[in-house]
Amino acid sequence: MKQVVVENLSVAFPISLSRPQSLRSELTKKLSRIGGRVVSDDSHGAVLALSDVSFTLKPGDRLGLIGPNGSGKTTLIRALAGVYDPSAGRIRADGVIVPMFDIGLGFDDEGTGYENIYIRGLIMGLTKEQISKRIDEIAEFSGLGEYLDMPIRTYSAGMSLRLMFAIATSVQGDIILMDEWLTVGDAEFRQKANARLRQLTEQSGILVLASHDTDLLRQTCNVAMYLANGKMCHFGKVDDVLRQMNEKQDAN
């Protein structure tokens, strides 16, 4: 059964404190303001970006991550993708994971559009044969036509994003991870892109979406998690979690 099980997950990023006491104090204050907690001894420290987070997702679950900037949403998404290793606890993800962030990672400006489809596909874990089977569909969806035979450096920013999106969404996974909903290109392409994203999330077993758009979370997700300072404050139905988050923010 496709599922995600997270048990007592903590993620810490080491920092050096080998500097004068006044600078160390200022650094600690700054790091505390951007999220997480700073733990330290005399010469070493760490930003505790996530602390003791536990939850389980089953097939059909659409989890929305909410919270202020620096709350740990992106860290959790990247830990689920395997980008960050747990400092404590564990993650068990049963199924094919498709990360929908850093979609331009590995692009070569001197390579053609077609060459970059292969480069990006290999980075995503596809074989050359699997990429070849998808290349016509990717080319058609991008709408770039003969530009695919030209170097990426000749593309506008919008054209590059269209190609990145077409490649990233060419793989159907069991667990989709998104750090904000992707919106790319002009109005016509955005409509097509949103339709594809909806289809992908409906077909996937599990979705984890970090977003500040509460209307999107209500429309897309059935459960939500409110994170603050690296800790899971609330987990449950979307409206319940949003209400609890608003009450906490009003109290502060």
CB within 8 Å of 163: residues ≥ 6 apart: 113, 116, 117, 138, 142, 144, 148, 152, 155
pLDDT value at 29 more than 80:
no
pTM of the full structure? 0.83
pLDDT digit string (tens) for 159-201?
999 999 999 999 888 999 999 888 777 888 889 998 998 888 8
pLDDT digit string (tens) for 69-102?
989 999 999 999 999 999 999 999 998 898 988 8
Q: Is 91 helix (H, G, I), strand (E, B) or coil?
A: strand
DSSP 52-89: EEEEEE-TT-EEEEE-STTSSHHHHHHHHHTSS--SEE
Q: By the 8 A CB rule, do 214 and 35 touch?
A: no
Q: By the 8 A CB rule, do 105 and 121 touch?
A: no
CA count, 13 A, side-chain hemisphere, 203 = 12
